[in-house]
Structure 1
């Protein structure tokens, strides 16, 4: 059995230590990434919604990179939204700027009532390239 390996992007270890979880876990050729949010450097939410989504994707990109992966390696995406009806256009705009070619990862969007002060969170599963 493959031993799981914790993946933490540079500069974020204190956050994960404080709350007792890993940014991602590598298990074999799969990477399971914890929910990423659009936090400022101090950990607080970015107040502008679209910028919060962009920051969440930047945090995700850094976590993927720490494991040797990119957005192209994503196979499963789940996003959480506090007000999907009013947020969807901004989310799609950011998403479409990142995922520009097929095949797109599968995607599940979930409306929620609480994200610890945030309005958007993204978690993914990626298949790691053989060189990672």
Structure 2
């Protein structure tokens, strides 16, 4: 085979087109129901480790996993609610806040601090690095 044949191969013998048939599903196989998928997606969030001076993919991924695991251990399903409460508390006056928002914001501060400590473990120099939590 020369270069011309390699880069510009001649078409093989034309094959007769064949009729494709759809695979048959068992009679008891029902379509999937995604009606509750929107509700499950409301509590989804991402954690990113930013501004780390030595960004190796494995190190960053492990740090993000440790941070997320510790955050979920402290807050459970209330991660986004607690973060929103923290933002509300930091931006609003005391008269506008509910008791639940203040409690959730306090839980967020404690959980974020514990998660940050877990995420920074074994990383060394983390002066400007931080974890960013965002809703999807």
TM category (shorter chain) comes to under 0.3
Larger relative CO (CA 8 A, sep 6+): 1 or 2? 2
**Higher strand residue share:** 1
**Higher helix residue share:** 2
Q: Give the TM-score of the pair, scaled to structure 2.
A: 0.26
Kindly name which structure, 1 or 2, has the bigger radius of gyration based on alpha carbons: 2
